[in-house]
Amino acid sequence: MAATLTIGFFVGHEEFHAIASGKTILSFVGIPLALFGPFLGAYMTYWMHNLGSVTPKKLEVVYWDFTNPLEDLQSQDAQINVIATSGGSKIDNLRIGQTGISNTGLSPILPSEEFEPPSISSKDPWRIINVVSSDRGVKLKWTKVDDYKFSSEPALLNPGDRAGVTVYLTRIGDTKLKDSEQDKPTVSWNARIANLAEITSPQDIKEKILNSGWLVVSHGGWEVIFIVFLFLVYLSISIYLLEMARLIEEKNPVSYGVILAMAALNLCAAEVGTTYLFGYYPLGISAQNSINAPPIILNALVFVGLFLYARSKRVVSHSESPLDGRTSKKG
């Protein structure tokens, strides 16, 4: 009984009965679905339309910097003198680089769909000595086409499969070169596969933000689930406080606009909170994270403001004596 009286005084008798009957809980679920259901449906329709009748293939390639093993081994600490030859000729310039390709699409790439299997090419004057597949992932078999190109045999690449390789290059007959940008070799991947537009490279998150000209939000895996969970928690608190303050009692455009504005603020706060916990620089280590603070602060201030406003209305309503409306009889 004491608990009932306490809750009834804090939230009001009407809200207490609504919570007890489950109406408020249902509104927490129904309102988000009503607000974001059409947007989600439209996005899924647009996404399915872009896929077309045939799911497009996607290949993504990554490159790592080249190393100079002959120079590294001839340092004073190593005290090793290495001489490399190829075809009887001394190799003064040897570079080793690593690269990899992965299927980032939603459909597998079949060997029968590879009209030109993946190949690796270099530009003159750097020649490819050998290409060796990594033990991890898909192990491609390579064949030398010429001094500047190695081609792989057709292989099955399921979604998520990766194939890493090590590339050995040289400039036979040249004197030793310095590790400058002009002297670094370059390699590229090529392939002609059914329904593959091009081989893409992953873009750095900073480059995405600078090149997009607009805000970029990057989350994946459990982070997305955490954002949805935190957003629903914030939205539930917002609707509860709005009902407590009696700001959405009537069904009109103003009430729906207030709910939509609160939902947008809650979503921003949920995304920013996830960035602080699971982002590239969690818990505010980076100075750039200070940009993310306003949504969280504003969300908290709105919660406090709604709570104080609702309590002030309760105090005013309880201070009005019910005897004011009574009539007294004399005699």
Report the number of distinct structural domains present in the chain: 2
**115-129, 133-147, 247-261, 297-311: least confident range:** 247-261
Give the closest residue to 157 by CA, choosing from 121, 117, 203.
117
User: Structural domain of residue 110, as residue ranges?
Assistant: 57-194
Between residues 19 and 238, the one the model is more confident about: 238
From CA 195, how far away is CA 191, in angstroms rounded?
A: 12
From CA 219, how far away is CA 206, in angstroms rounded?
A: 14
146 — pLDDT class (breaks 50, 70, 90):
very high
Q: How far apart are the first and last CA of the chain?
A: 40
The answer as to whether 52 is a domain residue is no
The answer as to whether 127 is a domain residue is yes
280 — pLDDT class (breaks 50, 70, 90):
low
Residue 5 sits at the vertex; the CA angle it makes with 312 and 30, to the nearest 5 degrees, is: 70
Q: Is the model's pLDDT at 116 over the cut of 50?
A: yes
Residue 61 shares a structural domain with residue 40: no
DSSP 182-247: TT---EEEEEEETTEEEEE-PPPHHHHHHHHSS------THHHHHHHHHHHHHHHHHHHHHHHTTS
The answer as to whether 68 is a domain residue is yes
What's the pLDDT tens digit per position in 32-41? 666 666 777 7
Which residue type is seen at 257?
G
The answer as to whether 288 is a domain residue is yes
- The contacts of residue 114 (CB under 8 Å, 6+ apart) are 154, 155, 191, 192, 193
**1-5, 156-160, 295-299: least confident range:** 1-5
The answer as to whether 180 is a domain residue is yes
The answer as to whether 8 is a domain residue is yes
Residue 75 shares a structural domain with residue 170: yes
Final residue belonging to a domain, choices 168, 194, 220:
194
What's the pLDDT tens digit per position in 147-186? 899 999 999 999 989 999 999 998 866 666 665 555 778 8
Residue 171 shares a structural domain with residue 231: no
77 — pLDDT class (breaks 50, 70, 90):
low
In degrees and rounded to multiples of 5, residue 239 shows phi and psi of: -65, -40
| The pLDDT value given to residue 6 | 36
